[in-house]
Chain A
C-alpha cells in the first residue's frame, strides 16, 4: 500500500467517524466502559500478585497465647520461641498493643471497646523465620507448646489471597468478555450506519474500479479510531483513578503501620496498562470493522 493511499484511508476514516458523530460517541463510551472494567481487573490482579510475592518472601507467623495466661507463663512461651534456632527474630505484642491495634482497626467504632480492659486480648508473638521452607514444621511444633492457643500462618493468607484472586479473575473475565463483545458489536453497528450513509458512494466507487479493500480500509480505520479514542479516555480515567486510590491508601494509618498490604505506584504500571489498552483497542476496533464488513459491506 502506498503512503498517499494510507493517508487517504486515514482521512476518510476520520470523515466517516465525524459524519456519524452520535453513534461514534456512543461506541467510544462503550469502549471506555469495557476498558475501565478491564483496567480495574488488571490493576487489582497486578497488586494482588505484588502482595503475594511480598508475603511469600517474608514468611511471618503469629503465635497467640491463651488469653488467661499470666506473665510468668507468657515468659515461658517466649523462652521457647527464643530458643528455637529456626527463628530469625520475634516481636512480642502485648495486650495493650493488641487493644490499641483493635481500636485503630475499628476507627470510629472504637467506642464499643470502652469499658473493656486490655486483658480481653491475648499476648501474641510475631515471628520471622530464617527460611520459608521451615514454616510448616515450625507451625506444627509451636502449636504443641503449652500456652499457645493457635498459630496463624502467613501461608494461609497467601492461599486465601490466591484463591480469592482466582475467583475474582474468573468473575472479571466473564465481565470483560461480555463488555468486549458488546464493544465489537456496537462498533460494527456504528460502521453499518456509516456504510449505509455512504452506500451510494460505495456503489460509485465500485463502478469506477475501486478494489474491495480500497473501499473497506476507511471503515476499518473508522473502527480503530473509535476504539483508540476509547482507549485513550479509559487510560486517562483509570490512571487518575488509580493514582487517587494509591494516594488515599498511603495516607491510611492502619495500612501504613502494619505494612500488611502495599500498592504498586502508578509510575511502575502505567506503561503496562497503556500497552494492554492499546492492544485491546486495536483488536476490538479491527474486529468491529470486520464484523460489519462481513455483514454489511459485501461489495
Chain B
C-alpha cells in the first residue's frame, strides 16, 4: 500500500528533514505518525503526495512509483488517495455539498455518480443536514468533517491526515479520530500525523515515532511516548 525505502529528504536550504526512512504499510492498517515539532512528519506526508521530492530512496503509494513519476501523473496519484489537513482547506464560496462534489467534478465523474456519492459521503460524516451551508457557517469540527467527506468521496484506498485535529478542541478531536477509525474499519488504510497524546494512547493503534528525521520506534498497539510503557502500573 505504502512503502518508503531508504528515503532521505534534504530541503534546498540544507535542512535535513528525513534520514534513511524505511516504512511499510499494509492495506487496511491504521498508523499514527508521532514526533516532536519539526521532526519531519509533514515532510513525510508531502513525499507521499509528491508535493516534495525525496532526495534519496524510493517511495511507493497505491501501486504508484512516486519517485519516478512525471508531473503529469501526479494528479492521478492524488486522486487515488484522500488528504486532510489541519486547516481544512475548503473552498469558502462553495457550499458543503459543492465542496465535496468538487473532488468528483475534477475527475470528470458522471453527474449521476456525483449525485449518488456526495450524499453518501456527507451521511458518513454526519453532515447531511448541513449540505447547503457555507464553510464559514460551520464549526471547526464540522468543517473538518466536510474535508473528510471530500477526501472520501472518490473512495480512495488510502487516507492521509496531517494533524487533522490541530485546530480543534479535545472533544471534537475525539469525534474526528473516531470517524477516522470508522473509515479504517470500512477498509481504508489511514495514516494520521498527530500530537494528540491522549487519543493515540487510548486508541491502541500502530504508532510510528519520528525524531529529527529518523524513525525511532515502530510499534503495534503503541503509545505516544515509549517511556510511558515503563512507568509503573498500579493495580
Which of A203, A205, A208 neighbours the largest number of chain B CB atoms within 10 Å of its CB?
A208
Nearest CB in chain A: distance from B51 CB, A: 8
Q: Any chain B CB within 8 A of the CB of A2?
A: yes
Q: Which of A104-112, A209-217, A230-238 contacts B (4 or more CB under 8 A)?
A: A209-217
Set B72, B85, B107: member contacting A209, Cβ < 8 A: B107
Contacting pair B89 A210 (CB below 8 A): no
Which A residues from 196 to 255 make CB contacts under 8 A with B?
A: 201, 203-212, 214
Q: Any chain B CB within 8 A of the CB of A4?
A: yes
- Interface residues of B, count at CB 8 A: 22
Contacting pair B49 A211 (CB below 8 A): no
Contacting pair A209 B106 (CB below 8 A): yes
Q: Provide the bound-state CA to CA distance between A4 and B102, in Å.
A: 13
Write out the residue numbers on chain A whose beta carbons fall within 8 Å of the beta carbon of B76. Answer: 209
Set A2, A203, A205, A207: member contacting B108, Cβ < 8 A: A2
- How many A-B Cβ pairs are below 8 Å? 45
Contacting pair B108 A210 (CB below 8 A): no
Interface of B is mostly: helix
Nearest to A214 among chain B residues (CB) is B106
Chain A 76-104 per-residue mask, 1 if CB under 8 angstroms from chain B, else 0: 00000000000000000000000000000
Write out the residue numbers on chain B whose beta carbons fall within 8 Å of the beta carbon of A73. Answer: none
Set B71, B91, B108: member contacting A204, Cβ < 8 A: B91
Q: Any chain A CB within 8 A of the CB of B103?
A: yes
Q: Provide the bound-state CA to CA distance between A211 and B75, in Å.
A: 5
Which A residues from 1 to 48 make CB contacts under 8 A with B?
A: 2, 4-5, 8
Nearest to A19 among chain B residues (CB) is B93
Contacting pair B75 A207 (CB below 8 A): no
- Which A residues fall within an 8 A CB radius of B? 2, 4-5, 8, 201, 203-212, 214
25 contacts between A and B (CB under 8 A): A5-B105, A8-B105, A204-B91, A205-B106, A206-B78, A207-B78, A207-B83, A207-B85, A207-B89, A208-B78, A208-B103, A208-B106, A208-B150, A209-B75, A209-B76, A209-B77, A209-B78, A209-B79, A209-B103, A209-B106, A211-B75, A211-B106, A212-B71, A214-B75, A214-B106
